Structure 1
Amino acid sequence: MSFGNPDNDDDVMAEINMTPLVDVMLVLLIIFIITIPVINHAVKLDLPRAASQPNDVKPPHVEVSIDAQGIISWNGNAVDEQALKENIAVASAQSPQPELHLRADRKTPYENVARLMAAAQTGGLNKIGFITDPEAAR
C-alpha cells in the first residue's frame, strides 16, 4: 500500500485526507449538543422580589456641652438641671430618637459628665456619642 502517485513510486503523497477528521469532529459536536442539556440541571426557584432603596434618613442629634465650670449647654443654649431634664424628656419622646452628642471641656470633672450621662439614661435617651477635639489637647 503506497501513498504516492501510482505512476511514480518514489513520490510521497503531500496531502492529508481531511474527511475522517471532519467526520470525527461532527460526531463529537453532535454528542456534545445532545449531552449538554442533560448535564445542565436547573432547579427552578421562586425568589421573592425586593426593591431596595438607600435609606438616607439620618436621625437628628442634640449637642450638649459642659464647660470647666460645669455649665451645661443644650444646642448652644445654657440650661439649668431642670431644663436639661425637660429637654431630655422631649428628645426621648421623638421618633426616631435623636443621638446625644456630648462635648466636655478638658478640665471638666468627670463627676459632671457622669451626672449628665445618668440624667440622659434615666430620661430615656439610649444613644450617646462623645465629641472630642484632639487639637485642643495640644
Structure 2
Amino acid sequence: MAAGGLDDDEEITGINITPMVDIMLVLLVIFMVTTTTINKIEGMEVDKPDASSGKNIDELPQSIVLMCRGQDGGGEFAIDGQPVEGTQAEIDQAMAREIEARVSQNAELQGIVQCDTKAQVGAMVHLIDLLRENGVTKYAIATEQPPAVKG
C-alpha cells in the first residue's frame, strides 16, 4: 500500500468543507439579489395630514373632494357632496370627466379623498388612482379631528 492512502477499514477523520462553503456563498448571492428586488416595490406617496392639525376642507378652494361611504352591498360615491350614481364604470367615468375638467381649469388642483369608517380600503385607493390617472399630482386623505379629552 502507498503511504498516505486510505484503506476501506480506516475511519475518515477529516471533512472537506469546501463544497459546503461554495453552496453557502451561492445562497448568499441569491438572497442578496432577491432582497434588492423586494425593496423596489412601488408605493404610493400620500400627503396625509395629521388629524389634530388638518385644515378644514372649506379653506381649500383649489380642491376637489371625492367621497365614499361603505355599505354591505357596495358603496356610495360623491364629488364635492354631489352624489354620483350608476354602475361602477359609469361612476368612474363621471368622476374622471369632472376631475379632468377641474384640472384643465387649475393645474395645481388638490384632490381630497374622504371615506367613512365603513368604506373598503380598496375604494379609497381606487379614488386616489382616479385622481392620479386624470392629472392630479397633489392629494390628501380627509380625517376627522379626534374628540377632546376631558380631564
The aligned residue for residue 44 of structure 2 is none
Cα distance in structure 2, aligned partners of 1:125 and 1:133 = 23
**One-letter amino acid of the structure 1 residue matched with residue 80 of structure 2:** N
Distance across 2 between alignment mates of 1:115 and 1:89: 16
Does the alignment pair 1:78 with 2:83?
yes
Matched with 1:61 is 63
Corresponding residue of 1:27: none
Go from structure 1 to structure 2 and tell me whether the alpha carbon gap of 1:97 and 1:133 turns closer, same or farther (over 3 Å shift).
Answer: same
Is the contact made by 2:62 and 2:106 (CA closer than 8 Å) also made in structure 1? no
Question: One-letter code of the match for 1:93?
Answer: S
Map 1:111-126 → 2, pairs under 5 A: 111-126=122-137
Amino acid aligned to 2:81: G
1:111 partner letter? G
Residues in 1 aligned to 2:129 and 2:106: alpha-carbon distance in whole angstroms? 21
* Contact 1:59–1:97 under 8 Å retained in 2: no
**Cα contact 1:91–1:125 (8 A) shared by 2:** no
CA contact 1:65–1:102 (8 Å) conserved in 2:
yes
| Residues in 1 aligned to 2:107 and 2:92: alpha-carbon distance in whole angstroms | 24
CA positional deviation for 1:95: 2.6
User: Which stretches in structure 2 are left out of the alignment for 5+ residues?
Assistant: 1-59, 85-90
CA contact (8 A) 2:68 2:114 kept: yes
Q: Specify the SS of the correspondent of 2:111.
A: strand
Q: Is the 8 A contact 1:64 1:102 kept in 2?
A: yes
Give the structure, 1 or 2, with the largest relative contact order (CA under 8 Å, sep 6 or more).
2
CA contact (8 A) 1:100 1:129 kept: yes
- Structure 1 residue 63 displacement after superposition: 1.5
CA gap 1:96/1:118 in 2 versus in 1, 3 angstroms: closer
Correspondence for 2:115 among 73, 98, 104: 104
Deviation string for 1:88-138 (max 9, x for gaps)?
A: 1112212342211111111111111111111111111111111111448xx
SS, match of residue 70 in structure 2: coil
Higher CA-based Rg: 1
